[in-house]
Each structure stands twice: as structure tokens, then as C-alpha cells.
A and B are shown apart, each in its own frame.
Chain A
Amino acid sequence: MKHKKLATATQAAALIPDGSSLLLFDGYEPMSLIRELLRQNRRRLTLYSCGPAFAASLLAACGAADHILAGCDSESCFIPGALHVSRAILNAQLAAAVNGGDHASVAVPERLLAKAPKLYREIPGIFDTGTQTAAAALHPDVAVVHAARADFYGNIQLDPSADMRDADTLRLAAAAKTVIVSAEQIVSDDAIRMNALRGLFDPNAVTCVVEAPYGAHPTAFATRYRADEELLREYEAQEDSAAFARQHLLSSPDQDSYLAGLGFERLISLTTNRRGEN
């Protein structure tokens, strides 16, 4: 019999104890779960951020993260306090873990060899190629992803209108020991079958699923709503980001109250596609 995996945000956050390492993906940010982690006052997290995830900045600003390794290709998107590598290097490290290797042979800039010797090293080439550089496989404790649709059994999908080019990156979540998914909508397994080509993960790899409409707010969820630029700009402009976050992002006890606080009009004004359909 198939096992139902529906959980509340509180239950899901309990799977991420202090000191965990957390894998995040830019553009698929489970902000409702991140808010729950901050409400529960998580500390000493290590973050692996595929892209410049706002969640990583927020967790760091609120004192929840000790270390951040971010795969960003543009300095303008760098996360304060993070060790930055290219997306290609971070993705290769996660892919190595998914494929059962202990490292990825990739070109690593010299500054990283000196800065993070536990992660990046020079190694002898095995095909008479002299030396080469290698990056250690990453095994995050937990991957957290915000997706469009999930059924009760952990089948996870993007919307029919989604660009599936991100799917390969999102599938790197399998590098983590635990995969937690928040979804815009819990749908029937018939709806999942109807949209079968949009699947993301093997449901056996998904630990639990949380329904979170507008769960990526204030960031965008490309097939349903745009980023809340006004709020993000205000956040960026603050000297004390943590105080701003406490007042505007964390003052509600749960996601329902958070959405009620934003209000119907604001949510609708951000919405670009109510159903994610073509």
C-alpha cells in the first residue's frame, strides 16, 4: 500500500534540527518552511545554495546559518558571508553525491583551493595528465524545494506551463538524505498522471510534502506569481535585515496568517497564472 506523505510545516521543520546542512534552490524557494524554521529559532545551519537563494540570505541575516556555500555566476547576486563557487562546480559536487562518487573532477579556481581545502583540492591525474582539481561530493542532510504540485504520495511536479530546463538542477535534491517538498497545491494522483512529463523526483526519495499556496512569497514562483519586489527592495534597503524580517516576514504564527496579513488584493496583484496551466 502506498504511504501518504502529507505533513504540516511544523512537522516538516522538525526534520531539520540545529546544525543540519540544508540544500536550497533559487527560484524554487520554500519560504513558508524557511519562516517556520526561523520561528523555531534554528541555529548553526550549513547552507548549500544552488543560485542566489533569498532563503539563504534570510537565514544568514537572522543568525540561523553558520556556513553558506553558494553556486552563483554573477557577483551582483552574491549572498553576504557566503563562499561563492560557480553554479557548475556546486552542481557537479551534488551530482557526484547523487551518482555515488566521492568527488567531481572539475576546474576549481585557485582561490578556492586555498580557501576551502576540505572541499576543493589538487589531485594527481590518473591518466598521465599531471594534476587536476577535484571538488568533494556534497551530501546535505536535507533538501527543501518548493514545487507546483504534489499528490499525497510524494509525486512532485512542475506546472504544465513550466520551463523544464530547471528540472535537472532540482533533481540534485536527491543528493540529500531527506527531501522535503512544499507545493503550491496538493492534487489528485489522477492530476499527476495527466501531467506525467512534468515529474521531478522519484516519490520514494521524498520524505514529506507540505501544501503551501504562495509558499515562495516574497520570491517568485515563475509559473504562478512574480516576486514581491516592493517587499524585497525594502528588505535590501534595511541596515538591520533581521529586524525587518521579524516585523514583516516572521510576525505571523503560520502560513495561513501570513497570507491573511498580505491580503487578497496584494496576492492577486502578484499572481500571473492562477492555475499554472497553459
Chain B
Amino acid sequence: MTTSNKKLISLKEAAALVPDGANISFGGFAETNNPLSFVREMIRAGKKHLEISGMGDAQSVELLCGAGAVDLVRVSNYMAKNGRCPNFCRCVEQGAIQTEDYSHFGITNRFFAAAMGIPFMPVKVMIGSDLCEIQNFDNGSKVMEFDDPFSGERCGIVPKLSPDFAVIHVARADAEGNCQLYGITSSIEIIARAAKNVIVTAEEIVDTEEIRRTNQFTVLPSFFVDHVVHCPFGAYPGGVFTYYDYDLEHLDLITRSGKSPETMTAYFDEWVYGTETEAAFFDKVGVRRLMDLRADPYSGVSLRNRRQFL
């Protein structure tokens, strides 16, 4: 853990911290809170041979697979808003990446063991199914059946999993790394506690006094966080509850582009390599589009997106 109080760094600096071949985990679930500005910056930087261990981080993995940046994935059900994740599926079908299949709760418990500083966690998931029977690159260190020494009940144990890096997108953070998030937080606290290095991307950077004043929303205290990056709209085209909704049109564009390597390359050329910075990316998306996605203060999602802007 970094103890320096200079945790606030640029997106480029943060992406440069992750070496090729790193074991990395991303926060976010479904279309919410995925650190996609960071992912795009990794793609711009040409990262390769990543080992990804995640819990429902499909949007991040889908883009990285499309860019050929991934070798191994511990996967727990990857779905896009509109169906399969075509880049990830193609990589699996063509043998370009190796996968190890977990349930959400199974992989979360691997992180949880690391977060608690203990060697394994007992679970009642995965055992008795192919998730337990079929073991690939984690063979022998995925899940093991055993009898509860107290009751004799059949259960499983999963070993701790401590990624080299966790990249977590939050709503607000201060320069010290105290982080706040509204709505569902998925497993981000557990992943952050499990990881050796934690990089947080935040919609807004606020004063520490503001964090203290509204401490009921704090999900990660500063001592778990090594680096903080200001990334407004950093989960786009996904959303952040109470900030902005997902952009279904752009998500569709990624899914459509992912149907073939050629169209995906064209997507990256236009939207990622073709925009040198995230500011340029968002200029291309359009300020008006971003404003239309802003969340209604009551529902936390966009009135226009949900067809309530009449």
C-alpha cells in the first residue's frame, strides 16, 4: 500500500502502473460503475497478456478481449445489456484466451479470503456442478470439496485470490483516497481489500471535509487506496447511479462491432486510438449526449433514456 499523500495522479500515469501480464481485477457490475476510461487508456497504451480475475466485470473484459490484451480470465457470467459479449466469446471459441468459470459468489469468496487475510473460505456454491468438476488453469487451486469438521456436512473451500491490481470506479473521492458510491456497490470493497494495489477512478474529487460530512456514503477508506484518478463520465458507456445512465446506443455499437475482428478494429480506430485522450473521446461522444444521460435526482437514472422526457 502506498503511504504517500500524493495519490492523485493522471489517467495516463495510472494506466502506466499496470505492467503487461498483470493479474488485474475491475470493479463494476453489468452496466454500472465499470472503470471504462481506465480500460480505454489501457488499450491506448497497448497492454498485453493480462490475467483478469473479476466478478461480473463484463464490460471491461469485453473491450480488453476485443483489443487482444487478455490471456487468462477467471470469469463469472459475462453478459452484455443486449446479449452475449461477442469479443470475449470469440476469444474463448478460438482459444485465444484461457478461462476458468466461477459463480459470482464463488469468485467473490476467493477475494474475500484474501481480504480477510486467511488462506481459504468455505462455500456452499459451485460444488456438485461443472463449475467444480471442470478445472482448467486453476486446477487444484479453484475449489475443493470437503466435509465440515464440525457438522460433517459436505461443502467446498476456495483459496484466497489477491490480484496485483484492483481498478475501482466510484462516485466521489478525496485526494487521500476516501471513496464514496451511491446505490449498489457489488463486490468492490472486497476486491479492493484483496488486491495488492488499488487504483480508484472517481467521477468527482471532493474535499476531505465533504467526505467527513457525508461519511455514510464512504465505501473505501483511504488506507485501502493507492492512487486516485479524476475520471468524469469514467464509466461511460455504462452508467453511475445518480450521476448518469448507460448509453444503450453506444453499448449496441460495441456489441455490433464485436461481431467480427475487422469491425471491432474499426471501432477502436475510431473511438479509442482515434481519440488521444478521454477528453477527446467525450468531445466525440458529444457534450449534449452526456447531458441527456444525466440522472434524475429522484430515480438516479436518465429521464430521456427511460423515455420519461416527454
Which residues does A use to contact B, with CB under 8 Å?
Answer: 4, 149, 152, 185-188, 190-191, 193-195, 213, 256, 259-260, 262-265, 267-268, 271, 273-275, 277-278
B185 on interface, CB distance cutoff 8 Å = no
The residue in chain A whose Cβ has the minimal distance to the Cβ of B213 is A278
A268 contact set on B, CB distance < 8 A: 232, 279
B203 on interface, CB distance cutoff 8 Å = yes
Q: Beyond A259-B288, A264-B282, A265-B279, is A188–B296 a contact (Cβ under 8 Å)?
A: yes
B203 contact set on A, CB distance < 8 A: 274
* B92-100, B128-136, B265-273, B297-305 - the one binding chain A: B297-305
Cα separation A213 to B298 with both chains bound (whole Å):
18
Q: Beyond A186-B303, A263-B283, A264-B279, is A278–B298 a contact (Cβ under 8 Å)?
A: no
Interface string of B223-267 (1 = CB under 8 A from A): 000000000100000000011000000000000000000000000
A262 contact set on B, CB distance < 8 A: 287
The answer to whether B279 and A188 have CB atoms under 8 Å apart is: no
B309 contact set on A, CB distance < 8 A: 186
The answer to whether A191 and B279 have CB atoms under 8 Å apart is: no
B295 contact set on A, CB distance < 8 A: 275
The answer to whether A260 and B297 have CB atoms under 8 Å apart is: no
Q: With contacts A274-B204, A274-B243, A275-B295 known, what are 11 further pairs, Cβ within 8 A?
A: A152-B310, A185-B294, A187-B296, A188-B308, A190-B299, A191-B298, A260-B283, A268-B232, A274-B203, A275-B243, A277-B297
B291 on interface, CB distance cutoff 8 Å = yes
The contact size tier of chain B is: 20 to 34
Cα separation A58 to B75 with both chains bound (whole Å):
59
Task: For the complex formed, measure the closest distance between the CB of B199 and the CB atoms of chain A, giving whole angstroms.
Answer: 20
B286 on interface, CB distance cutoff 8 Å = yes
Cα separation A191 to B302 with both chains bound (whole Å):
12
B204 contact set on A, CB distance < 8 A: 273-274
Q: Beyond A186-B303, A188-B298, A188-B299, is A274–B232 a contact (Cβ under 8 Å)?
A: yes
Cα separation A60 to B286 with both chains bound (whole Å):
32
The answer to whether B283 and A264 have CB atoms under 8 Å apart is: yes
Task: For the complex formed, measure the closest distance between the CB of B231 and the CB atoms of chain A, giving whole angstroms.
Answer: 10
The answer to whether A260 and B288 have CB atoms under 8 Å apart is: yes
B82 on interface, CB distance cutoff 8 Å = no
The answer to whether B287 and A260 have CB atoms under 8 Å apart is: yes
Q: Beyond A274-B243, A275-B243, is A194–B298 a contact (Cβ under 8 Å)?
A: yes
The answer to whether B288 and A187 have CB atoms under 8 Å apart is: no
Cα separation A278 to B291 with both chains bound (whole Å):
20
B4 contact set on A, CB distance < 8 A: none
Task: For the complex formed, measure the closest distance between the CB of B276 and the CB atoms of chain A, giving whole angstroms.
Answer: 12
B298 contact set on A, CB distance < 8 A: 187-188, 190-191, 193-194
Task: For the complex formed, measure the closest distance between the CB of A264 and the CB atoms of chain B, giving whole angstroms.
Answer: 4
Cα separation A139 to B303 with both chains bound (whole Å):
37
The answer to whether B282 and A275 have CB atoms under 8 Å apart is: no
The residue in chain A whose Cβ has the minimal distance to the Cβ of B294 is A185
A187 contact set on B, CB distance < 8 A: 296-298, 303
The answer to whether B288 and A256 have CB atoms under 8 Å apart is: yes
Contact of A275 among B287, B297, B299 (CB under 8 A): B297
The residue in chain A whose Cβ has the minimal distance to the Cβ of B172 is A274
Cα separation A275 to B240 with both chains bound (whole Å):
12
Cα separation A188 to B295 with both chains bound (whole Å):
10
Cα separation A46 to B242 with both chains bound (whole Å):
41
Cα separation A186 to B299 with both chains bound (whole Å):
13
A193 contact set on B, CB distance < 8 A: 298
Can you offer 6 A-B residue contacts whose CB atoms are under 8 A? A185-B294, A188-B299, A263-B283, A265-B283, A268-B279, A275-B295
Among A190, A268, A273, residue most surrounded by chain B Cβ atoms (within 10 Å):
A268
The answer to whether B288 and A191 have CB atoms under 8 Å apart is: no
Contact of A263 among B279, B288, B294, B299 (CB under 8 A): B279
